[in-house]
Amino acid sequence: MRPKSKLFELMALKEKVERNKFFKQVKSIAKEIEKNNAMNSQLKEIRANKQEDGKTVTALQLRSDKWYDFQIQEQISATENRTKFLVEENKQVNKKIAVRNQKMLKSLEKADMHKRLELEEGEKKSLLSSPANTIKRGVFNS
């Protein structure tokens, strides 16, 4: 049978592996947020740089301009919603990381405690089985 300390060390290792998976998720979410923010700023720049000159505009041109404006506004709205979603997802994953980290630390604490107990037990056994104890009692003294 394995010592309890080894079991707790293995549990801590398992939690560490799970925590590291969540670290990878956080990293990818951060990259996605960065890309999304860049796209949002580009769309806002496009909307701000739209030129309005004093030329006469036909109905078809006006209609297509409004359609493009609407499409740009839709994309801006979509990127903002996606950013909100990603930020919320990031918070949840960070909470999962914290939970896994706490579990890992508790498992390591328990492993250390059990190691100490096993060491103390071993010391007691060695003291009780050593011949020095019997000599002091006078069993071997003639």
Give the angle subtended at the CA of 28 by the CAs of 22 and 32, to the nearest 5°: 140
Any domain includes 141: no
Any domain includes 24: yes
Tokens found for residue 32: 């996605």
| Number of structural domains found in the chain | 1
- In which domain, by residue range, is 80 found? 4-50+57-136
Any domain includes 142: no
> Which residue from 74, 98, 124 is spatially nearest to 90, judged by alpha carbons?
98
Tokens found for residue 40: 């949002």
Tell me the pLDDT of the chain (142 aa) as tens digits. 567 888 999 999 999 999 999 999 999 999 999 999 999 999 999 888 876 666 777 888 889 889 999 999 999 999 999 999 999 999 999 999 999 999 999 999 999 999 999 899 888 888 888 776 555 555 555 4
Q: How far apart are CA 16 and CA 111, in angstroms?
A: 15
Q: Per the confidence metrics, is the pTM higher than 0.85?
A: no
